[in-house]
A and B are shown apart, each in its own frame.
Chain A
Amino acid sequence: MDQEELLLFIFYLGRFDIITVPRFWRKIVNRYNLLGTKCEECGEFYFPPRNLCPSCRRKGDIETYRFNGTGKLVTYTVIRSAADIHEKETPYILGIVELEEGSRLTSYIIDCDIDDVEIGIKVKPVFRRLGEESEEGLIYYGIKFTPVN
Chain B
Amino acid sequence: MEVGICSYGVYIPKYRIEVEEIAEVWDEDAESIKNGLKIKQKSVPDTDEDTATIAVEAARNAVKRGKMSASEIGAVYVGSESHPYAVKPTATIVAEAIGATPDLTAADYEFACKAGTAGIQTNLALVKSDMIDYGMAVGADVSQGAPGDALEYSAGAGGGAYLIGKKDVVAKIEETVSYTTDTPDFWRREGKDYPEHGGRFTGEPGYFKHVIAATKNLLNKTETDPSYYDYAVFHQPNGKFPTRAAKKLGFKKEQFKDALLVSEIGNTYSGSTLIGLASVLDKSDPGDDILVTSYGSGAGSDSFKLKVTENIKDIQKEEPKLESFLKEEKHLSYGSYARHKGKVK
Contact = CB atoms under 8 A, between A and B. Distances in A.
Interface of A: 29, 32-33, 66, 88-89, 110-111, 126-130, 139, 141, 144, 149
10 contacts: A33-B97, A66-B99, A88-B47, A126-B57, A127-B53, A127-B60, A128-B53, A129-B50, A129-B53, A139-B50
A48 B52 CA distance: 24
B96 interface: yes
B145 interface: no
Contacts of B47: 88-89
Nearest to A88: B47
Contact of B48 (A33, A66, A144, A149): A144
A128 B84 contact: no
8 closest A-B pairs by CB: A128-B48, A127-B56, A129-B48, A32-B97, A127-B53, A33-B99, A128-B53, A139-B84
Contacts of B97: 32-33, 127, 141
Contacts of A126: 57
A127 B96 CA distance: 12
B93 A141 contact: yes
Residue with the highest number of chain A CB atoms closer than 10 Å, among B47, B48, B60: B48
A126 B46 CA distance: 12
Given A29-B96, A33-B97, A66-B99, A128 B85 contact: no
A139 B50 CA distance: 11
Contacts of A144: 48
Contacts of A149: 328
Given A126-B57, A127-B56, A127-B57, A89 B48 contact: yes
Contacts of B99: 33, 66
A125 to B, nearest CB: 10
A110 B45 CA distance: 14
B84 to A, nearest CB: 6
A127 B97 CA distance: 8
A116 to B, nearest CB: 13
Given A89-B47, A127-B60, A141 B52 contact: yes
Contacts of A32: 96-97
A141 B97 CA distance: 10
B221 interface: no
B49 A129 contact: yes
Nearest to B99: A33
A32 B57 CA distance: 12
